[in-house]
Each structure stands twice: as structure tokens, then as C-alpha cells.
Amino acid sequence: LRELLQCYVVARGFLEHARGKVNGVLDGAVERLITANPVQLSACSADGRRYQALREVVETVVMDMGLHTLLLSALSAAHQDEDARIGCAMLKLADALPEEVGADPAIACDLSSAIAILQELEAQATPLDKVDVLRRVARAIS
């Protein structure tokens, strides 16, 4: 992990390579944990569900150690044009009324709590944490 964080550069067009590298780091860390703690973690190698749960924990820790920052900056750079287009479209629609975009005015509702929750999304370091924020947004809307 230290080598990945200090030396690895994610170049445009090589995001798939980066994903493979990250998955290798995560899988290697999980296997080393299982090997170093056979009594406590032996069930993780035999049960796919437990292995996946352990991998998610390892992913959370690894992402929090700086990998999230490295990957987010690479992904942001790779998609900056698309992000700019979407940002412009969102600004144009920010104050639009439902009928202005062809929606039934009866569905208009206060989304302020959902928006407040959604603003937490970028601060999340792992996909699991991001999904949890989206789950909370959906609950706030419903």
C-alpha cells in the first residue's frame, strides 16, 4: 500500500490498470490477515460472505489511509469535461419549477433534508459509505 500511495501515478486511460492494482492490494491484505490470524479468521476463507465482509473492512481502512484521495483526484481529472457539462445543466435547472421541466406540479416537495444529506457524499472514502449516504437520501425523499 505504501508503494502504491507514494509511487503510483494514475494516468488518463489507465484507470482499469489502477483498479486491478487496488484490487490486488486489497486482496493481498485480506489474505495476509487470514494467514496471520488463522484461528480468528479461518471462517473467512471458507465462507464467501465473511470474506467479503472482511474485505469491506480492509477497503475502508485502506481508503482512509490516503488511497481515496489518490483515486478521487485521478477519477476527477479523467471525467472533468463530463462533470463540467453536468454541472452547467444542473445550474440551469436549479431553480426550475416542476412544470418548466414537464413534471406534474403535484409532485413538488421539500428536498432540503435530502440535499443536506447528499452534501456528505464527497467526504465518504469508500463505496460502501457512499452507498449508505445514497440510501439515507432515498429515505429522506420517500
The tens digit of pLDDT for each residue in 87-139 reads: 999 898 888 888 888 888 887 788 899 999 999 998 888 888 899 999 999 99
Please list the alpha-helical segments (H only) found in 2-126.
Answer: 2-7, 15-36, 38-46, 48-62, 68-78, 80-93, 112-118
Q: List all residues 6 or more positions away from 130 whose beta carbon is below 8 Å from its beta carbon.
A: 121, 124
The tens digit of pLDDT for each residue in 24-46 reads: 889 999 999 999 998 888 888 76
The pTM score is 0.61
